[in-house]
Chain A
Amino acid sequence: MSSVYKMSTISITTMEANPTITGLGQIGVVLRGEPERMMQWVQQWSTRRVVLQVGVIFLGAGLYGASMGYWREPLQGLFVAIKFPMIILLTTLGNGLLNGMLAPLLGLNLSFRQSFQAILMSFTIATAILGSFSPIVFFLVWNAPAMSAHVPGVYSFIQLIHVVLIAFAGVTANLRLVELLQRLSGSVGIGRKVLFAWLAGNLFLGSQLCWILRPFIGAPGLPVEFLRAEAFKGNFFETVFRAIQNLFFS
């Protein structure tokens, strides 16, 4: 009850202090992590804002996906440009119910809509960062020797670059999210607990969605396709487990 009171007090004061920001200026606010405005936006649902954030996710993740798949073939780039934003939105929607339940259970009194809005903000930050890197990644893969040339080390290097960039975007987005959650709850501990609970759920579902929607970078020996023929066969965790088993016990 006390946290609800604290939230509503803050929202009234900040609404008076901050003039309204519309359009793409809102993306700057979430990137800078301006706490008052972000708290206000989490508490006040705005369909326009949600549409804008979904648009940024489609554009940012789409551009990054296109540059990721382009190395295999331009058609693969188009496929990944569609699949990458889908993973993010399906993860947000698929875990919406669970995340909305976990927040109050862990001490943060957020409604389903508010938790959805907070997670959407963090994905907006991550995809805006990825989108801004897409010209650099495109330039990198355009300069790389063709995938079919099998130049040693190049495939691993490209993979590593993607891992570093996606990790950077994800870490930055989650740092902004944890700051927001800590402010909303008024407690560092509760903010962290909620973040880790959300992260665990999102990583669990997200990694399986990635598995189903593979390929992304593609492989020279395999055809260019939207989904692999055996897309729903097996799962991400089973494959990781088998790989570890083969590595240590075979």
Chain B
Amino acid sequence: MNGTNPGPLDNTPNPIKIPVSSAGSYMPPVIPSAPSGAAQPLGTNPAEQVPITGPVSAVEAILRQPRRVIFQLKQPNAGSVITSLLLIAVVCSLVYGVIVGTFSGGQQYWAAPVKIAAGLLISALICLPSLYIFSCLGGSQARLVEVFGLVAGLLTLMTILLIGFAPVAWVFSQSTKSLAAMGGLHLAFWLVATIFGVRFLHAGFSHLGTKSDGGMKVWVVIFVLVVLQMTTALRPIIGTADTFLPAAQDKKFFLSHWFDNLDADGGRSRKWKGDGN
């Protein structure tokens, strides 16, 4: 309990009195419902009004005080906050990309980071107009720049969490040769990171006057599908190939690409077992 964030008991002026019914038996006291974060207007806590001055401050704010980030996105200097968030997202995705590249080595040390950073940014840009429209349809008063800021926050939180997963990913990448297993692992990490990013996005829209979040749920599905397809459009990210990007005649949807890889991986595994015998 500190001075800036008083708990419920700090505001209680008198000791709790246990009510007694007319029959003389004790009745349990009514527990007041805790105020939800979304119900409190932004900026009521003075800590939320502290400006975000740079990338380090932005990292701390998005992890510990997401409401501060949302509040700052509504201020006139939101541009610098968004720039900081995007810078963090790019740097973190480049770092995670290097870890992804360690599986194959060689040119994937630089190709994987470039593809992951570019892929995430392009996916976000492709999906931004529909998110703005969905937010309007949900009754939100958010301006395009605020929606853009929330998407930048989503990317930032996702990529920071990916950095947290990076050591685990590196350990696994050094101990397996299975492309499908590594792909699945990176995908699982990305999905966990996305869940936390979406929570931030949801909190942001609840403060921007959204009355219905149905549209946002649909948008999240679209965003996930676009990013998954992006991994196929920019392949190879984990494995290797002769060309930086797939040829025009090799275009595929992500499910088809994954099934092909699973088949190829199964074939390699069977062959390896055969050689062993």
Q: Is the CB of B126 within 8 A of A146?
A: no
Q: Is the CB of B133 within 8 A of A143?
A: no
Q: How far is the CB of A73 from chain B (nearest CB, A)?
A: 13
Category for how many chain A residues contact B: 20 to 34
Q: Which residues of A contact B127 (CB under 8 A)?
A: 135-136
Within 8 A of B (CB), among A145-165: 145-146, 149
Number of A-B contacts (CB under 8 A): 54
Q: Is the CB of B136 within 8 A of A31?
A: yes
Q: Is the CB of B130 within 8 A of A32?
A: no
Within 8 A of A (CB), among B94-142: 125-127, 129-130, 132-133, 136-137, 139-141
B237-256 near A? 1/0 per residue, CB < 8 Å: 00000000000110111000
Q: Which residues of A contact B251 (CB under 8 A)?
A: 142-146
Q: How far is the CB of A159 from chain B (nearest CB, A)?
A: 15
Q: Is the CB of B137 within 8 A of A143?
A: no
Q: Which residues of B contact A143 (CB under 8 A)?
A: 229, 232-233, 251-253
Q: A143-B233, A145-B252, A146-B249 are in contact. Are A136 and B226 (CB under 8 A)?
A: yes
Q: How far is the CB of A71 from chain B (nearest CB, A)?
A: 11
What secondary structure prevails in chain B residues at the interface with A?
Answer: helix
Q: Is the CB of B126 within 8 A of A139?
A: yes
Q: How far is the CB of A248 from chain B (nearest CB, A)?
A: 34
Partner of A135 from the list B126, B139, B141 (CB cut-off 8 Å) is B126
- Complexed CA–CA distance, A142 and B252 (Å): 10
Query: Is B222 an interface residue, CB under 8 A from the partner?
Result: yes
> In this complex, what residue of B is CB-closest to A144?
B251
- Complexed CA–CA distance, A33 and B212 (Å): 13
> In this complex, what residue of A is CB-closest to B218?
A168
Q: How far is the CB of A237 from chain B (nearest CB, A)?
A: 33
Chain A to chain B contacts (Cβ below 8 Å), 23 pairs: A28-B136, A28-B141, A31-B133, A32-B137, A32-B140, A128-B133, A132-B129, A132-B130, A132-B133, A133-B129, A133-B130, A135-B125, A135-B127, A136-B126, A136-B127, A139-B233, A143-B251, A144-B251, A144-B253, A145-B252, A146-B249, A149-B249, A172-B137
B residues with CB within 8 A of A: 125-127, 129-130, 132-133, 136-137, 139-141, 222, 226, 229, 232-233, 248-249, 251-253
